[in-house]
Chains A and B, each alone.
Chain A
Amino acid sequence: MSLTPFKVPIVPELRKSTILSLLAKGLRTSERDLVTPRIVKVKTGVIERAEGSAQVELGNTKVLVGVKTDVGAPFRDTPDEGVITVNAELVPLASPLFEPGPPDENAIELARVIDRSIRETNAVDRKSLAIIPGSKVWVIHVDIYVLDHDGNLFDASMLATMAALMNTMLPDYEELETGEIILDRSKKTTPLKINKKVLTVNIAKIGDYLVVDPDLDEETVADTRIVVAYDEEGNIVGIQKSGPGAMSREEVLKAVDIGREAVKIYFKSLEEATGRAE
């Protein structure tokens, strides 16, 4: 069951009119133009115990992603492929809006949008994750941890997920005669095979304006948002209209084009942080 949110951040009317009058001049409260994201910082390998990890700061939004790996059974319809799961936690310490408890619809939507972007593009080479085809495969758990919420959890989480996957090293293992797999997590030597890099751009519609990477105030006053995933070739690899409100055909297409330019900034940050030029 999905309900109209009854607990929403209050944006003072004065702030709202400031946002709108600045947009009319092509400016934002965070001192940037409409099509540029906030300052992005990507750090990888921040959790030593995880097989892969990354922390992303997008303005004041902070997201931590950890990747853990296990050995498990493949899905019946893909016996020679590994399994990837994506889960998102809107941790209560990140915002007065977040409550303890199982993931709500916002957390589930966030995780599923990111999951689809990497799944549909085969971003992680799932075939390389088969250990004994048909019975034993790698299970890759991606856990998104939102630490500080100042808007646009989509882009920050996607960027952190991609960086963490690129940072992931699979543990060594030994295959016993019984077919059992014994992991040695003290030695991690095999990098996870990445086929494709995928990132999203979140574009908010505020009045007649389309703005890239909305902060929390902008998200709160926005009519609606569209999150578009791209690969490095500029293909569109996923879309989610998120939030109430609607867009015209022209606005949707314009947003897709604006995002296609903006995503280059994110890709550059990703490349700098991971140093894996492919």
Chain B
Amino acid sequence: MGKAVGVKLIDEYGRRHDGRLPDQMRPVRMRINVLENADGSALVEYGRTRILAAVYGPREPVQKFMALPDRALLRVRYHMAPFSTEERKSPAPSRREIELSKVIREAFEDIILVKYFPRTAIDIFLEVLQADGGTRTAAVTAASLALANAGIPMKALVAGVAVGKIEGQLVLDVDEIEDGSGEADMPVAYAPDIEKITLFQLNGVLTREELEKGLDMALSAIRELVELEKRTLKEEYVSTEEV
């Protein structure tokens, strides 16, 4: 897809192809309450990557036999819009989307207080409107905001970011060009308030030292992302505060 052949991805001053420093995020935007029908919703952008999240529930599961007697059932769909990529993506779920739906669901199983809503379903729908790298981690951030916006009790807010290795260097928040020719891509989701890593993958090769350094890069960026989540949630109320 985005293979940049012969293009230097890090220049002599340590700047990346878009001018960022190795530990710099792309511009991040967060908004909540963007959809009318959903119980909670959020729009999250990491640069050109744009994710729309909607949460429905807790509600009666569509298929009753799925209901769990002691907790709420989570349903997660990570899906890419056909127009989100360079070449049209078939709207049918790919193996990649099936796997990512699973790891994103598992990132929230221990975060949402599911035991208070037995026999119900909580649905998290994630649409990648535009893909430019880091879609699964931006999707986790969007899901966290949409859940909070829906008023679903959760232990902590979660955010995600990917650390990559390009031209031998660890870099934060890889975009598609960097991912396409990088040596490693490590998506991480983390809940800073309870210090728990809830999603963790690595595609590619890292030494033990690089792994630790990369993980710490991701965790410190996520602390800032969650702070921004908190500000975004509060602003919804502050804007109507009396003067």
Contacts and interface: CB of A to CB of B under 8 A. Distances in A.
Contacts of B204: 120, 237-238
B205 interface: yes
Interface in A105-134: 105-106, 108-109, 111-112, 116, 120-121
Interface string B95-137: 1101101111110011100100000000000000000000000
A131 B115 CA distance: 58
A237 B201 CA distance: 11
B226 interface: no
A112 B197 contact: no
Contacts of A111: 95
Given A1-B76, A248-B197, A252-B200, 12 more contacts: A2-B105, A3-B73, A120-B204, A231-B205, A235-B205, A239-B201, A241-B198, A241-B200, A245-B110, A247-B196, A247-B197, A253-B212
Interface of B: 1, 3, 65-68, 71, 73-77, 93, 95-96, 98-99, 101-106, 109-111, 114, 184, 186, 191, 194-208, 211-212, 215-216, 219
A126 to B, nearest CB: 15
Main secondary structure of the interface of A (DSSP, over half): mixed
Contact of A244 (B110, B184, B197, B207): B110
B197 to A, nearest CB: 5
Nearest to B156: A246
B233 to A, nearest CB: 21
A249 B197 contact: yes
A29 interface: no
Interface string A237-278: 111111111111100110011001000000000000000000
B208 A260 contact: yes
A1 B74 contact: no
